[in-house]
Amino acid sequence: MPKTALIKRKKKIALIAHDNKKQDMMEWAKYNIGTLEKHQLYATGTTGRMLEKELGLDIAILESGPLGGDLQIGACIAKGEIDFLIFFWDPLAQLPHDPDVKALLRVAAVWNIPIACNRASADFIISSPLMEQEYQRILPDYDNYRERFNQ
């Protein structure tokens, strides 16, 4: 029987947008405010402050991405404190914190959480019937991996 983690009806959602995608994030969040306000929101620095000001929503704001915010979100994912990630990243921009971005996307994949990397995928996630109900997320079994390195 696989291990699972319960994603409750009130989701814990991380919101991140690179500079060239912040306007997209703002428009998307405004359009989906009725859904977002039902959930617990986290965001990296600039994105979080922008969304909090414009939408009037309570958002747990972490550091800016280049100052470690992406890694903070990743740590929250690894601890089971984030249910899914909405990350509007700019595939055409060179970023000084690119290793952090890759680490964040990697840890989200490692822990099998839903990830939206653009507006279309975010639309599909937020409009899913699963947004309104509990969901048993299957956790990958890393026991063998851990045992190899704990001998």
The residue annotated as part of the active site, out of 19, 24, 58, 70, is: 70
* Active-site residue flag, 143: no
Domain ranges of the chain: 10-149
Residue 111: closest CA among 80, 135, 89, 134: 80
The pLDDT-based confidence of 83 (bands split at 50, 70, 90) is very high
Residue 2 has what pLDDT? 83
Tell me the DSSP string of 61-119.
E---GGGTHHHHHHHHHHTT--SEEEEE--TTS--TTHHHHHHHHHHHHHTT--EE-SH
Q: If phi over 0 gives left and psi between -120 and 50 gives alpha, with beta otherwise, what is residue 68?
A: left
CATH among 3.40.50.1820, 3.40.50.1380, 3.30.70.420, 3.80.10.10 for 10-149: 3.40.50.1380
The pLDDT-based confidence of 110 (bands split at 50, 70, 90) is very high
Residue 151 has what pLDDT? 62
* Higher-pLDDT residue of 142, 65: 65
